[in-house]
């Protein structure tokens, strides 16, 4: 059931912040923060780890709400059931939610120190640039590379471990984030074409975009598995989760929607596999 204009009913507000990808990012943050804390001899529920997860939560709220606010006129034509064009959430309410998300991110980052605060703000600034401008240009993938490439470094700084501990993580996270962006834009390919968007998927074309997204995701999964096997860190449960993730991405060859869902599942599986292998 939808409320009237200006309503702040819980379900529309939850939809406003894009709950599925937000939950995946927050879950990945919690797992990585727990791994890094444990390896440093800290409690997985230490204050810094918890504050870091809350800060990432705030950034996800801000990014999702701002995205829906920015795209409200486009969504009125292409996705009229989304919260703002459907009248379930007022445009001003979406901006207020985005502002609250940013405030939560900053407040939660303060206890983790200036480095984590600064890295988090750079990641969020990249997301803002995407929402307000770059999402409709051939550079649409750039904020994904920046924001998600910085995420492991942000988490390490927040937890308080040496950044060298995650120095190689962006090499895997960034291409997977690029694949996620391409898979996500494919789901709106026709609408973006009608509305004159020139994002990277529109420039590359549907077929090349899909092939690139699928291949990037598979390479990341297989590369992660190979790295764990070479290091001798692939116990049975970890290997099983790794395989499940690869299968989740592989089945995405049947279409963009299934690829997007498979990538969300794979991200969780591969993070859990890493946690079991290295924890």
Q: Structure pTM? A: 0.87
Residue 105 and residue 158 in contact, taking contact as beta carbons nearer than 8 Å: no
* C-alpha to C-alpha distances, 166 to 37, 159, 171, nearest whole angstrom: 13, 12, 10
Class at the top of the CATH hierarchy for domain 1-166:
mainly alpha
For residues 30 and 59, give the distance between their C-alpha atoms in angstroms, rounded to a whole number: 14
Domain boundaries, the chain: 1-166, 168-279
pLDDT value of residue 232: 67
In the DSSP assignment, the letter for residue 252 is: G
Q: CB neighbours (10 Å) of residue 190?
A: 11
pLDDT (tens digit, 0 to 9) for every residue of the chain, 279 residues total?
333 444 445 688 999 999 988 998 998 899 889 888 888 888 767 799 999 999 999 999 999 999 999 999 989 988 899 999 999 999 999 999 999 999 999 999 999 999 999 999 999 999 999 999 999 999 999 999 999 999 999 999 999 999 988 887 888 888 999 999 999 899 889 888 988 899 999 999 999 999 999 999 999 988 877 877 776 666 677 788 888 999 999 999 999 889 988 998 898 888 777 766 765
């Amino acid at each position: 059931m939808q409320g009237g204009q200006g309503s702040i009913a819980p379900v529309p507000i939850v939809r406003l912040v894009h709950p599925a990808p937000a939950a995946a990012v927050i879950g990945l943050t919690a797992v990585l923060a727990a791994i890094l804390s444990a390896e440093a001899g800290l409690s997985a529920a230490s204050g810094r780890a918890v504050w870091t997860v809350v800060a990432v939560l705030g950034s996800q709220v801000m990014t999702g709400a701002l995205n829906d606010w920015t795209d409200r006129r486009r969504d009125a034509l292409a996705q009229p059931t989304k919260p703002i064009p459907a009248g379930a959430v007022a445009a001003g309410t979406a901006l207020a939610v985005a502002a609250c998300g940013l405030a939560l991110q900053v407040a939660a980052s303060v206890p983790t120190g200036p480095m984590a605060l600064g890295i988090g703000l750079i990641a969020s600034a990249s997301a803002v640039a995407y929402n307000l401008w770059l999402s409709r240009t051939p550079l649409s993938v750039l904020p994904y590379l920046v924001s998600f490439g910085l995420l492991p470094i942000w988490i390490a700084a927040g937890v308080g471990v040496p950044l060298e501990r995650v120095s190689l993580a962006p090499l895997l996270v960034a291409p997977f984030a690029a694949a996620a962006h391409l898979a996500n834009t494919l789901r709106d390919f026709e609408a973006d074409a009608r509305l004159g968007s020139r994002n990277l998927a529109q420039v590359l074309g549907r077929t090349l975009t899909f092939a690139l997204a699928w291949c990037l995701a598979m390479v990341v999964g297989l590369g992660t598995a190979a790295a764990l096997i070479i290091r001798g860190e692939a116990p049975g449960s970890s290997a099983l989760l790794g395989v499940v993730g690869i299968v989740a991405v592989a089945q995405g060859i049947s279409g963009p929607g299934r690829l997007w869902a498979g990538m969300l599942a794979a991200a969780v599986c591969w993070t859990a596999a890493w946690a079991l292998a290295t924890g």
